[in-house]
Structure 1
């Protein structure tokens, strides 16, 4: 019942609030170990969050953990989706196939692993090649929190507003936005916790 009403019962990342304004917070996050999958959302018909299942299988959220130990890893919140503007790096040769779209838009979905994992090599090795374990160093974000469903339109509006506020206040934006979602899909929309996070210097 609690999860339907938005209760967050899992580990969430610790952070320090550097500045709080009526429009946003500036937060500093410590380094973390992350499991991530990068995919083309069009590969998963009717489910742009297809990467979620790949990561959930790795930690064992839905059955046997798909990792080398196998070790069940506790679910944490939020689930991070890195913006689809991120493009695949250019390589050579260039192979042209007519597919209708010029650039492939890819999405990276991340699970932040529990804080007990300090280094990437401490986390169990994924059995699925699509899952990559990475370490992210200390980082700073401008963050705005909102409830409801994080539809593309709502997220776009939040990102534009946050960018405007950060630039107005003299912050230098150093990367693409990230979407952080704290609740499962069955949480009632008014009780959902979402955040748009933009990395700043």
Structure 2
């Protein structure tokens, strides 16, 4: 049995290197429209764990990821393990901070989730929403995210949709994934004009 587990872990590790996200749950959505390289998506309500981290964009993402990974890997009052999902979300927070978020698997509710041991991890309900999403590969550093965010907002000009919130970066793959095979997105909540 141990060899099968090792082989499975190696296969998943190789898969993540080349952008295969096998068995990782993503929040469900319906595509409402495709325009100018964007998808207008409708998401239902979700539950997430999030943390606010001071610092520059990349170091905050890394620190936030580690803190949230600790929570889902058992740093909670019941020592429960929670499956990893994607994407990892990052948005500017108050001051010079960043909010990093993991969406919880769909089987979990706010009432059923274990309480985090780290008081910097907060469980939140995310209401249903419509978003415009722009997918991109490659670099996901601050400059690339800023450029793609500007592209997303320009693409919404003169459409039936208007931005209705702060743009958010979503990262679907681990840092070791080959850059041109990474799935990254910038999204912004939208409302009909």
Give TM-score, length-normalised by structure 2: 0.87
2:146 matched to 1:156?
A: yes
2:27 matched to 1:13?
A: yes
**Aligned twin of 2:70:** 57
The structure in which a higher percent of residues are strand is 2
The equivalent position to 2:107 in structure 1, one of 113, 116, 127, is 116
Deviation at 1:170, TM superposition (A): 3.5
Could you tell me how far apart the structure 1 residues matched to 2:187 and 2:17 are? Answer: 24
Could you tell me how far apart the structure 1 residues matched to 2:67 and 2:129 are? Answer: 26
**Aligned twin of 1:167:** 157
Deviation at 1:173, TM superposition (A): 1.1
**Aligned twin of 1:48:** 60
Deviation at 1:121, TM superposition (A): 2.0
**Displacement over 6 Å in runs of 4+:** none
CA RMSD of aligned residues (A): 1.5
Gaps spanning 5+ residues in structure 2: where? Answer: 1-13
Give TM-score, length-normalised by structure 1: 0.83
The structure showing larger relative contact order (alpha-carbon pairs under 8 Å, at least 6 residues apart) is 1
The equivalent position to 1:136 in structure 2, one of 123, 126, 134, is 126
2:16 matched to 1:3?
A: yes
Could you tell me how far apart the structure 1 residues matched to 2:49 and 2:28 are? Answer: 18
Gaps spanning 5+ residues in structure 1: where? Answer: 88-103
The structure in which a higher percent of residues are helix is 2
2:81 matched to 1:68?
A: no
